[in-house]
Amino acid sequence: MYNKKEDQPAVYYQSVINENIITIATLKKQIHLMGTIRLFLLIGWIAHLLLTPHLSWLSLTGITLLYFIPFTGLMVFHNKLAIKRQYAQTLRTLCENELKVLQYDYSAFEDGATSKDVHHPFSLDLDLFGEQSVFQSFNRTVTPCGYEKLIGWLLNPLTRKSDILARQKAVEELSGKPELRQHFYVTGYATQRDKNDADLLEKLTEHSAGIRYQKIWSILTVLIPALWVVILLTTSLGLVDSAIIVLFFIVSGAIANSKFKQVTEVHRTLDKIQKIMSAYASLIVIIEKGEFQSRSLTDLQQRLLTNSLTASKAINQLTPILKVLDQRASLPGVLFNVFTLREIRAIIRLDRWKQMHHEHIAQWFESLADFDALCSLAGFAFNNSDYIYPKITEEYFTLSGKAVGHPLIPREKCVKNDIQMEKHPYFMIITGANMAGKSTYLRTIGINYLLACIGAPVCAAELTVFPAAMVTSLRTSDSLKDNESYFFTELKRLKMIIDRLQNGEKLFIILDEILKGTNSEDKQKGSLALIRQFMTYQTCGLIATHDLILGNLRDEHPDNIENFRFEADIEGDKLSFSYRMKEGIAQNMNACFLMKKMGITV
């Protein structure tokens, strides 16, 4: 049953679910037991007090400690068990959602819908974002920076062979570490994340001092405590009047609170930043402790090492500084501040920390974002273990593949086709009936081409790709906002392509039904002229059309244009499709047939 390669992820996820069901049940019993014992301790303490009402304060204190020390210990243990249970529940939910993904239900994960952009060269046409989208199918990011990084990779695919191959190696290695990836996901899922985290972190990169004249303040942080020691010592020996203690308390208090507003602002900012940094430090530790072989991952780890100090340890140095500022409103905090300028000392320590690490903070979070995004691609590779990593070539233009399928179409329904483009200029003119598979084929090629260029595996038996810049025009629409017609919007799109070709860019072009928004005569004339112009720019691509006359271009360019077709099979009153691409120009059209089926007189 599970000997097929594509069934392996389902077996793994189900085993993790089963293990965590047992773990959750065990932890639930332990938590219940801890709660019961704590309740009995509380009842026992109350009963003890009621049965022995005349105890001395010393005996009362001893009895209270006897009950409340184990009570407190059990409460700490209870909280640890609760954290473990939450971890197990999150891991179980993740695996349950991954099983749904294997059934092509991606609804549990963020879809990146806000990143839709009608002006992007291909994202809208290829359904990269939104419900049941390419992005949603593999997005498992748990940090805002990782989320944006993954979107950026899709919108700006790699164009250098070495970069693509390096990322392939990293993705392939991480795909074989599901436990590590899931630990990273669950740990990140438990942290509070906000898209504005990056704005707060920018404040940590500011090199300017929090307090002016730091050298003077540094001297005062040593001088004030020393004077207090001298004053208290001389007073206790009767060498000076005790009134000086009150006087110096007022003076040192004034000095300590002279920067009250600045310290308050730093505390307010640091409180938020430290929580962000601590949450992300737990993710960074996972990366630091990972054992990796691929160069991309080992380089990523090196970027988390600064002056022999790991990023996570550097981040954790902020915790004691924050604790000092958190205690500033308490009586001990106020007294310590007066006697030692504790708050000023903390601000100076923060400033030194910033001077040491401000140049590296952006690098740390860039590494975290890279790892987060790589985990998403690796999860996609793991879920599709029958996919292959494409070969990358440096010869323009090559796009050669066998059994290429659409990754979002269920395997049992997906009809796969080949593609062969190994020269330039070169265009495949694809004709065919409505619903026969032309547009799906274009998106199939476009999506797999994109996956290849971001270092991900592809849905194909074989695929070789030259990473040119891809441009598509499959889903042009009019714009009421910009007062633009459908036709004018498409013309702008085509002009963008021509401009880029004129600038010398090497493009891979995918067009579906050129010039849809005008009359048939102009459409044919304009389409023929456009393709001829493409040929002069030595470019390559796919063009799907209902205009069979475009197939005649092969007579003009027999070595550089090939005709392919998707046929509709009409037998009696039945219409069927094979979705298999064949050579030549389409022979059967089905528009009139469909109109008759709908009751429209033709």
Q: What distance in Å separates the CA atoms of residue 19 and residue 92, rounded to the nearest whole number?
A: 9
Is residue 9 scored above 50 in pLDDT? yes
Q: Which two tokens stand for residue 258?
A: 């002279």
Mean predicted lDDT score pLDDT of the chain: 87
Is residue 3 scored above 50 in pLDDT? no
Band (597; pLDDT cuts 50, 70, 90) = low
For residue 6, give the 3-state DSSP assignment. helix
Instruction: Please report the pLDDT score of residue 329 as a whole number.
Output: 80
In terms of Cα–Cα distance, which of 205, 195, 16, 213 is closest to 96?
Answer: 16
Is residue 204 scored above 50 in pLDDT? yes
In terms of Cα–Cα distance, which of 295, 310, 413, 291 is closest to 357?
Answer: 310
Q: Would you give the distance in Å from CA 68 to the centre of its chain? A: 45
Instruction: Please report the pLDDT score of residue 206 as a whole number.
Output: 62
Instruction: Please report the pLDDT score of residue 77 as a whole number.
Output: 93
Could you tell me the maximum CA-CA distance found in the chain, to the nearest angstrom?
A: 119
User: What's the mean pLDDT in 249-276?
Assistant: 79
Q: Which two tokens stand for residue 63?
A: 């009895």
The β-bridge relationship of strands 399-404 and 469-473 is: unpaired
Band (348; pLDDT cuts 50, 70, 90) = confident
Kindly give, in sequence order, each residue whose CB lies less than 8 Å from that of residue 540, ignoring residues fewer than 6 positions away.
397, 399, 421, 423, 424, 425, 426, 427, 468, 507, 508, 509
Is residue 249 scored above 70 in pLDDT? yes
Band (479; pLDDT cuts 50, 70, 90) = very low
Q: Are 528 and 415 in contact (CB under 8 A)?
A: no
Is residue 166 scored above 90 in pLDDT? yes
Residue with the bigger pLDDT between 426 and 602: it is 426
Q: Are 397 and 508 in contact (CB under 8 A)?
A: yes
Extents of the domains making up the chain: 5-189, 197-383, 391-597
Instruction: Please report the pLDDT score of residue 483 as a whole number.
Output: 43
Instruction: Please report the pLDDT score of residue 2 as a whole number.
Output: 34
For residue 417, give the 3-state DSSP assignment. strand
Q: Which two tokens stand for residue 548?
A: 């069979």
Query: What's the burial of 601, exposed, middle or buried (CB within 10 Å: 0-12/13-18/19+)?
Result: exposed
Q: Are 566 and 441 in contact (CB under 8 A)?
A: yes
Q: Are 129 and 135 in contact (CB under 8 A)?
A: yes
Portion of the chain with pLDDT greater than 70, in percent? 89
Q: What distance in Å separates the CA atoms of residue 454 and residue 126, rounded to the nearest whole number?
A: 15
The β-bridge relationship of strands 507-512 and 469-473 is: parallel
Q: How far is CA 534 from CA 498, 531, 542, in A?
A: 8, 5, 11
Kindly give, in sequence order, each residue whose CB lies less than 8 Å from that of residue 432, ignoring residues fewer than 6 positions away.
438, 544, 546, 565, 566, 567, 568, 586
Is residue 553 scored above 60 in pLDDT? yes
Q: What distance in Å separates the CA atoms of residue 366 and residue 326, rounded to the nearest whole number?
A: 30
For residue 90, give the 3-state DSSP assignment. helix
- Please, what CATH class does the domain formed by 391-597 belong to? alpha beta
Q: What is the pLDDT of residues 399-423, one digit of tens each?
A: 999 999 999 999 999 999 999 999 9
Q: What distance in Å separates the CA atoms of residue 593 and residue 600, rounded to the nearest whole number?
A: 10
Task: Specify which residues 564 forms β-bridges with.
Answer: 430, 583
Q: Are 189 and 310 in contact (CB under 8 A)?
A: no
Q: Are 87 and 191 in contact (CB under 8 A)?
A: no
Instruction: Please report the pLDDT score of residue 4 as a whole number.
Output: 45
Band (203; pLDDT cuts 50, 70, 90) = low
For residue 458, give the 3-state DSSP assignment. strand
Band (478; pLDDT cuts 50, 70, 90) = very low
Task: Specify which residues 421 forms β-bridges with.
Answer: 399
- Per DSSP, 125 falls in state T
Query: Which residue's entry shows tokens 């077709």?
Result: 565
Q: What distance in Å separates the CA atoms of residue 190 and residue 504, rounded to the nearest whole number?
A: 48
Greatest mean pLDDT among 152-156, 196-200, 478-482: 152-156
Greatest mean pLDDT among 80-94, 306-320, 568-582: 80-94
Q: What distance in Å separates the CA atoms of residue 151 and residue 145, rounded to the nearest whole number?
A: 10
Residue with the bigger pLDDT between 211 and 297: it is 297
Is residue 481 scored above 50 in pLDDT? no
Cβ neighbours of 340 (radius 10 Å): 17
Q: What is the pLDDT of residues 100-132, one digit of tens each?
A: 999 999 999 999 999 999 889 999 999 999 999
Q: What is the 3-state secondary structure (H, E, C) of 375-438?
A: HHHHHHHHHCCCCECCEECCCCCCEEEEEECCCCCCCCCCCCEEEEECCCCEEEEEEECCCCCH
For residue 485, give the 3-state DSSP assignment. coil
Q: How far is CA 499 from CA 137, 410, 534, in A?
A: 34, 38, 11
Instruction: Please report the pLDDT score of residue 328 as a whole number.
Output: 81
Omega within 30 of 0 (cis) for the link into 53: no
Query: What's the burial of 317, exposed, middle or buried (CB within 10 Å: 0-12/13-18/19+)?
Result: middle
Instruction: Please report the pLDDT score of residue 434 as a whole number.
Output: 75
Instruction: Please report the pLDDT score of residue 511 as a whole number.
Output: 95
Instruction: Please report the pLDDT score of residue 61 as a whole number.
Output: 86
